[in-house]
Structure 1
């Protein structure tokens, strides 16, 4: 089997003799059709983890495990994400001809949607679910929106995960405020953002606080660097009413980062835990969290419905040629900072 394998720190190649992963009774065996690239993929390679790379994918069901209870059958078109570059499951990653995935995390592709479109969303929707709904348990889900709008700040709304956060926040009934570069203002407004601020402005935090009349209680950071923690601290309300939570979430927490708001509940999303098993990657051993997997199962069932109903759309993509060999070039371009505002997409096979 062909797969992108990490051979040493900073070096990955397409091999032709990879061992196909074996599904458990609760897994689906998937023929991979299209894959999308995430920044985490090239970072995995830098660590030299001897494993198959890749997380986001779309494909076709080849085999259904004997204990799978959801209505999947051979030939179904599906999308999801796996924990690629996992030292404990080195044979399983998205950048390969076949993979296995927990059936509870799999969503069907609706008629009219392409493999390329669906493949972009797996990591993003899991991260949004964990960061904005599981960790903020008081926030209503997108299929049951709140009646009175309150402001929500999505820092980095033009990023792949931020674009989904903007849309899901809007569906939940928030007044969505976001930040990005000026060249992406029209894009995030098309996603439903109510107000957009220039993330590079030195007064952006104070400007957002003024816009929200000092009543911003929810902020989710999809960048996690370049001053975003400080700007969010300045944007959040200076005080809160009794019983009101003050939330500061992020998807990119770096050791040593100072949040500067002791009165805010700080949360860090790491979507690996949604797989419900131990993941060892990039020097980080993520414990199994059954409660995170149970949440993800319910969350993906709802996301599947919303996607079928056309209630949200995936991030912008740049489809490139070259299959698995092309993936290597895309990873280098991402590492070198030559990709912005799109997710790179590669077709691996035909259905």
Structure 2
């Protein structure tokens, strides 16, 4: 194997990343070395590139979603788990490694903790597989922040427990909808009107246009009409104005004298809006590495693995031609606002 490979390298915080060569690493005892075949682009990738979110190490390589082929495995990884040539999807660990460039997905070869990888079916393309890791992991993490326990069992038939998902048309929102619906929750979602029919097929109880000036009132009325208590919510997209709307909805639909929980996929600033009776939290997997890897392993190796073939990948996939060279342009487009489309780059 080559001693070096191409990567999208960011030399320092705020600098524009550029394609260059970097050393190809060897896997540590618990890692896999993966040849990247496809990556998808996410809002958090923009946030990491532009403001250095969660990054301490520079030069760094960004990127979270990976679909690729196992090249070699560390000494502690059982040979039968990931033989050379195994097709896997994974969420890159660069976020948790504080920017260690060996663990970012925007390069030809990447290190991946073996517990955060899962084989995907032969009939699934690398392009489709690359859209799954971060969305599914963030969906479960967000729902956990909203009060749904990890490894939760389905609710009893006829349950009147509900969940709010703002931005259900996003990759994360669509994943969260499928998780919540599979657990038996009545799910009230917002998205553009063109996506409503699709989201209802995925399990949404009711869908609302986020651009409607009266969307808060309409969601509250629908939940009360259905006799549903909405004690938790997940803001998959949106700014502080959206945060406030979500909190107002929960404050009007929760059980009296209780605190509802709203999970946000973006960090909460100190001056973020506050509404009595609602606690807003930024979603984040466990800080302890062993606990986090066990959690990620369950999300991919159990929950997602059991649903290959029935889980519906989110959004319309748009391939960006040009390999690593077009990743920055793709992130720029994503930063400018994209609805219902997932950018994927084949490496």
TM-score (norm 1): 0.85
The one-character-per-residue Cα deviations of 1:53-82 (angstroms, maximum 9, x if unpaired) are 211010011112111147211111110111
Q: 2:178 aligns with which of 155, 167, 172?
A: 167
2:129 pairs with 1:125: no
- Range 296-305 or range 166-175, more displaced: 296-305
Could you tell me which runs of 5 or more consecutive residues in structure 1 were left unpaired when the two chains were aligned: 275-286
What does residue range 1-351 of structure 1 map to in structure 2 within 5 Å?
A: 1-8=5-12, 9-15=14-20, 17-47=21-51, 49-69=58-78, 71-84=81-94, 87-133=98-144, 136-138=147-149, 141=152, 144-147=153-156, 148-149=158-159, 150-213=161-224, 215-225=229-239, 227-238=241-252, 240-241=254-255, 246-270=260-284, 273=285, 288-337=288-337, 339-348=338-347
SS in 2 for 1:248: strand
- After superposition, the Cα gap between the structure-2 partners of 1:47 and 1:251, relative to the gap in structure 1 and judged at 3 Å, is closer
In the TM superposition, structure 1's runs of 4+ consecutive aligned residues that sit over 4 Å from their partners are 85-88, 137-140, 239-245
Q: Deviation of residue 95 (structure 1)?
A: 0.9
SS in 2 for 1:216: strand
CA contact (8 A) 2:34 2:68 kept: yes
Q: Deviation of residue 97 (structure 1)?
A: 0.7
The one-character-per-residue Cα deviations of 1:246-269 (angstroms, maximum 9, x if unpaired) are 221111133134343332343211
Task: Calculate the aligned-residue CA RMSD, in Å.
Answer: 2.5
SS in 2 for 1:58: strand
- After superposition, the Cα gap between the structure-2 partners of 1:107 and 1:257, relative to the gap in structure 1 and judged at 3 Å, is farther
Could you tell me which runs of 5 or more consecutive residues in structure 2 were left unpaired when the two chains were aligned: 53-57
Structure 1 distance, partners of 2:256, 2:151, is 20
- After superposition, the Cα gap between the structure-2 partners of 1:234 and 1:217, relative to the gap in structure 1 and judged at 3 Å, is same
Structure 1 distance, partners of 2:165, 2:106, is 30
CA contact (8 A) 2:140 2:150 kept: no
The one-character-per-residue Cα deviations of 1:269-328 (angstroms, maximum 9, x if unpaired) are 13xx46xxxxxxxxxxxx545433322222222233233242343432101211111222
Aligned length: 330
SS in 2 for 1:99: strand
CA contact (8 A) 1:140 1:172 kept: no
Q: Deviation of residue 107 (structure 1)?
A: 1.3
CA contact (8 A) 1:177 1:195 kept: yes
- After superposition, the Cα gap between the structure-2 partners of 1:181 and 1:54, relative to the gap in structure 1 and judged at 3 Å, is same
- After superposition, the Cα gap between the structure-2 partners of 1:195 and 1:74, relative to the gap in structure 1 and judged at 3 Å, is same
In structure 2, what is the equivalent of residue 281 of structure 1? Answer: none
